[in-house]
Structure 1
Amino acid sequence: MRAPPRLYALAAAAALALAGTALVPAAAATAASAPATTTAPAAAGPAGAPSKRLAPEAAPPKLRASGNKLVDETGATRRLLGVNRSGGEFMCVQGRGIFDGPVDDASVKAIADWKVNTVRIPLNEECWLGLSHINPAYGGANYIAAVKALVARLEAHGITPVVELHWTHGRYTGGDSHCPDTEYATCQKPMPDAQYTPAFWTSVARTFGNDQAVVFDLFNEPFPDRATSDLTAAWKCWRDGGSCPGIDFPVAGMQTLLNAVRATGAKNLVLIPGVAYSNDLRQWLTYKPNDPAGNLAAAWHGYNFNTCASESCFDQQLAPVIAQVPFVAGEIGENTCSHGYIDRVMAWLDAKGASYLGWTWNTWDCSSGPSLISDYNGTPTNFGVGLRDHLKGMQ
């Protein structure tokens, strides 16, 4: 899911839908606030199995992959069920703050009240690393501190934080280019860059590596397949990086980023997306990176306007992956301001015991991009009602 800058957000809507990913309008910023002091229960276990919920004041579990399931320290099966909290990927690089809207205790409690057990936090590598063109008020140490504070608030509510790299450096002028006039991390790029992304993940892993309740999501929505018509070359680029066909900058592949994480000693669960904006996982198992920690999950994004948006496609393309590794739908949504599509997706994933996170917990117009809420008290949009009621009904 992309979060385009305000100046071209509305004009880009139709193009983004054709490209295979949803529009995210930008909104006003609010800085981080005080740490949380309350907790909320976690969401249900796989369909057909007993649920294991967090007791009040319980910390989120330390997750690991076991076969094709996620389990906690006791070996109990867990699922990641929740929402995305967009803002950290675009506010800082636009010079407007760090998060889009409040991330104080009250706002986190509102998320928890939906019976959410996981929140995915999109980030910007230039802001995390504090590059010179980023306002220091919103970058470097200040940015890292704000992210750490949000992670702490989520954990205080028993919620699993997923820290995810959304926007990255590198000028890209090929197919599906979204900001060809700049190398800065102001839009979604087809692949991570070798110049900064390994350093980003080294720093993130050192920051959160002692807390295995934090999940790492390596890169939002790769699309090397839009840069070349050679699908095999695209998947090799995805895994190995280097000089990739159609991409203007040196690429850091998924293996390189995973190596950067593991070199710090961090054993956290790592999510690795597919290609085609994370909608295509057909060769994920073939090109799966090697993980010495054995703690990987496949990540998929599903929207009503994607190519793989039907149960028949899910059965053909996703089921073989789900049979072998843990599976997390890191983003699900639709641009209809309704919930018919995600109702079907959640039902299919429930039957497989897989995980899913709705896009997004931001107060945008749900007809121009999938927005779950109309205010930060948790009032759902017509789209958000579907996710809220489904999660609450799983108790």
Structure 2
Amino acid sequence: MRHARWIVPVAAVVVLLTGGAIYAERRDPAPEPAAGVDTGAAQPVVEGNRLVDARSGSRFIPRGVNWSSFEYACAQGWGMSSLDTAGGGGAPDAEAAAIAKWGGNTVRLPLNQDCWLGTRGAPVSDQFEERTALDYRASVQEFVTALNRQGMVVVLDLHSRKRIGQPEFGNTAMPDSESLSFWRSIAGEYRDNPSVMFDAFNEPYSRYDAVDNLVFDLTWECWRDGGCSAPVEDDQTATAGQVTYPVHGMADVVGEIRDAGAAQPVLLGGLDYANDLSRWLEFAPEDDQLVASFHSYDFKKCSTAKCWDAVLAPIADRVPVLTGELGADDPTGGYVTRYLTWADSHDIGSLFWVWADHPTDPMALVRTGLGTPTAYGVLARDYLSSAAARP
């Protein structure tokens, strides 16, 4: 989501920067995908407009939560994620078990591109511990394994870049060349895990300057093919649009994932922070394992049943649709419940934003990492447990 509305807790701010860039070598020609191991979780594959569990052929509708921390903690200098402060070496297993108790079958993990690659001084070390990109990758792998053991599919999401020492973190508008290195590495590492899906880029968007003039108009052509130039500043930093970087499109990202030998489904969010899917079917790259990802918030334009009927329903007739993020300014005020009712009627799964203990964020689902729910958390827990009980 667009993160301007809450502050991420900073346990420590440090200036010691470590780690050189780590890049996986491009495989040419691409290897054949290896047979995946049984992780205990569903193994989603796209068949027509449905996700199915490859183990049984039955329909799989992802329902669960976004677990937030890997996208910012590693760049703020207080650990790889909040698991580092959860107490004890069993923190990933305990956290995974707490999520599983709510009844979800899927967890989306937002990741930080620079922390994974070891670029721009990320992950940040402190006076007690040197942290490297390999450490970050190992922490992600440990949690993915714990979630899979609890029977949950994991969505790995390219969410953010580093913002060292900053209490908030921002997102760039579209993938850059290093995003392709990120996906080459991620896909190579997880290509044999059939209980992992990939979310190509969190929330593509157009960009305005400080006086609301459009300085970067993200078109659907550029969304798919790249070739345009986006401001280098993230969406937490003012921009005049004068310094830019070359954008890579979703076709490039999907190509990198496939070239690395990964055959799993890939989520593609549309324009306007993944809230605009109006031309998704027209411009989606050629690939038979794509999922349309929609971010549903009451403060975005497509927030009515009229829009959902006009835009989402026709897509859901052709390809799987997943609500990659679901929330609201007041998540217990009725919007979330209305959307869930509509989504269920169209067999569209939803992942609640956000499983995190952020006291100032109305969309925080928990008061502690181990599952003490907020009022919104009670709503989410009741929905997920009810959905899990359905035949």
Letter in 2 for 1:128: W
What is the number of residues matched between the two proteins? 335
**2:285 aligned partner:** 289
Identity %: 35
User: In the TM superposition, what are the counterparts of 1:129-278 in structure 2 within 5 Å?
Assistant: 129-134=117-122, 135=124, 137-168=130-161, 186-194=169-177, 196-224=178-206, 234-244=219-229, 248-278=244-274
Given that residues 329 and 355 in structure 1 are in contact (C-alpha distance below 8 angstroms), is that contact kept between their aligned partners in structure 2?
A: yes
Task: Give the corresponding residue for 1:121.
Answer: 109
Distance 1:337 1:282 in 2: 25
Q: d(CA) in 1 for partners of 2:117 and 2:67? A: 21
Give SS of 2:110's match: strand
Structure 1 residue aligned with 2:48 = 67
CA change 1:24–1:290 in 2 (3 A) is farther
Report the counterpart of residue 107 of structure 1 in structure 2.
95
What does residue 43 of structure 1 align with?
none
Q: Retained in 2: the 8 A contact 1:208–1:214?
A: yes
Q: Which moved more, 1:264-273 or 1:382-391?
A: 382-391
The amino acid across from 2:313 in the alignment is A
Tell me if structure 1 keeps the 8 A contact 2:208–2:215: no
CA contact (8 A) 2:73 2:80 kept: yes
1:247-288 deviations in whole A, cap 9, x for unaligned?
611111100010000001110111000010000000111110
**Distance in 2 (alpha carbons) for counterparts of 1:90 and 1:245:** 22
In structure 1, C-alpha distance between the alignment counterparts of 2:379 and 2:108, rounded to whole Å: 19
AA partner of residue 249 (structure 1): Y
Cα–Cα, structure 1 residues 325 and 282, in superposed 2: closer, same or farther, change >3 Å? same
Q: Give the unaligned 5+ runs of structure 1.
A: 4-15, 17-22, 31-56, 170-178
For residues 356 and 171 of structure 2, the distance between their equivalents in structure 1, rounded to whole angstroms, comes to: 19
Distance verdict in 2 for CA 1:105–1:29, change over 3 Å: farther
Question: SS state of the match for residue 92, structure 1?
Answer: helix
Matched, 1:326 2:308: no
Q: Specify the code of the residue in structure 1 equivalent to 2:225.
A: D
Tell me the CA shift for residue 24 of structure 1. 4.0
Deviation at 1:28, TM superposition (A): 5.4
Q: Which residue of 1 aligns with 2:34?
A: none
* CA-based RMSD: 2.6
The normalised TM-score by structure 2 is 0.80
Q: Which amino acid in structure 2 is aligned with residue 384 of structure 1?
A: G
CA drift of 1:75 comes to 1.4
Cα distance change on mapping 1:237 and 1:138 into 2, 3 Å? farther
- SS state at 2:255 partner: helix
Task: Provide the rounded CA distance (Å) in 1 between the counterparts of 2:44 and 2:207.
Answer: 31
- Superposition TM-score, scaled by structure 1 size: 0.79
Residue identity in the other structure for 1:278: A
